[in-house]
């Protein structure tokens, strides 16, 4: 998929190296002090986006496996077909094996998919560990795009503005503290629960509540619309009468 570069991204390099004046290891220790680690590995990992890759999907028996070479934070594709990742610091969240591969069969059942007449290998063999995207750290100044702050809301995922470079700071640590506080109090957060049997009663209840609230809002919107149309007809009855057919 070709993504048109934004905000000067055409000047970014393939596999661009991280800034040499930032100590990633020191900052990672600060994160570990907040959320901890598991088996000597971080639960939340600070990473340089161009160094993070996912499996490149292939057509089985039609293409040779390329491996983990597709940039997770793909920003755009050059005219030569090279994939460029956004040169930004990102946070990744660890997923425990019980969540993504409680058994080899569980992983394999989600690995393949038929599409466009071909069998696709979407995820490759089960990995030793798995991290997923949590947050891209940057700031938007209203010039790079119309947004102001740390989040871009003017484009779809991976086709949005990547903002200005921002060094990981205390603001990001406070964001991590907030997310960790929320996770500690969420009964549905069970990292080691077997994905085959895991249920999220609190999440299900929240979803049900959201649906009910949405339905109530729709009813209220319809009532307001009906009241508006009735009032409009009483004031200007002829404007809402359907024209008489000849």
Residue 191 lies in a domain: yes
* C-alpha torsion sign, points 177, 182, 183, 185: positive
Mean pLDDT for all residues in the chain: 80
In a domain, 120, yes or no: yes
Report pLDDT for 47: 97
Q: What is the pLDDT of residues 206-236, one digit of tens each?
A: 444 554 565 566 666 556 545 544 454 444 4
The reply to whether 20 and 99 lie within a common domain is yes
Q: Verify that 180 and 123 share a domain, yes or no.
A: yes
Residues 55 and 73 placed together within one structural domain of the fold: yes
Please report whether residue 113 resides in a domain.
yes
In a domain, 71, yes or no: yes
Same domain, 188 and 233: no
Helix (H, G, I), strand (E, B) or coil at 144: coil
Instruction: Calculate ∠ Cα 182-38-103, nearest 5°.
Output: 100
Q: Has residue 29 got a pLDDT over 60?
A: yes
The pLDDT of residue 126 is above 80: yes
As beta bridge partners, residue 121 has 58, 112
The answer to whether residues 144 and 48 belong to one domain is yes
Q: Is residue 102 part of a domain?
A: yes
Cα(163)–Cα(136) distance, rounded to whole angstroms?
Answer: 10
Please say if the pLDDT value at position 115 is more than 70: yes
Q: Are residues 158 and 209 in the same domain?
A: no
Residue 75 has a pLDDT of: 86
Rounded to two decimals, the pTM is 0.73
Q: Are residues 175 and 89 in the same domain?
A: yes
Range of the domain at 146: 9-198
Q: Which residues of 212-238 are buried (b: 16+ CB within 10 A; e: fewer)?
A: eeeeeeeeeeeeeeeeeeeeeeeeeee
Model pLDDT, residue 87: 94
Using pLDDT thresholds of 50, 70 and 90, give the confidence band for residue 163.
Answer: confident
Per the structure, the count of domains in the chain is: 2
- Within 10 A of 31 (CB to CB), how many other CB atoms are there? 22
Please, are residues 71 and 49 in contact by the beta-carbon 8 Å criterion?
A: yes
Q: What is the mean pLDDT of residues 7-31?
A: 90
Average pLDDT over residues 165-183: 94
| pLDDT reported for residue 142 | 85
> 149 with 80, same domain?
yes
């Amino acid at each position: 998929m070709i993504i048109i570069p934004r905000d000067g991204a055409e000047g970014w390099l393939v596999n661009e190296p991280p800034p040499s004046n930032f100590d990633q290891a020191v900052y990672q220790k600060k994160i570990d002090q907040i959320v901890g680690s598991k088996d000597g590995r971080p639960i939340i990992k600070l990473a340089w986006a161009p160094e993070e890759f996912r499996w490149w999907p292939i057509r089985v028996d039609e293409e040779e496996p390329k491996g983990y070479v597709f940039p997770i934070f793909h920003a755009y594709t050059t005219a030569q077909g090279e994939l460029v990742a956004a040169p930004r610091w990102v946070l990744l969240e660890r997923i425990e094996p019980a969540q993504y591969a409680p058994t080899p069969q569980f992983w394999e059942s989600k690995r393949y998919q038929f599409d466009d007449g071909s069998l696709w290998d979407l995820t490759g063999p089960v990995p030793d560990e798995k991290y997923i995207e949590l947050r891209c750290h940057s700031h938007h100044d209203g010039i790079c795009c119309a947004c102001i702050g740390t989040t871009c809301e003017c484009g779809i995922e991976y086709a949005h503005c990547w903002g200005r470079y921002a060094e990981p700071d205390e603001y990001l640590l406070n964001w991590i503290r907030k997310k960790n506080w929320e996770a500690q109090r969420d009964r549905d957060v069970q990292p080691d629960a077997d994905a085959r049997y895991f249920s999220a009663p609190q999440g299900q209840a929240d979803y049900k509540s959201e649906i009910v609230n949405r339905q109530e809002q729709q009813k209220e919107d319809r009532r307001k619309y009906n009241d508006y149309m009735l009032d409009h007809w009483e004031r200007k009855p002829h404007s809402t009468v359907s024209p008489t057919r000849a």
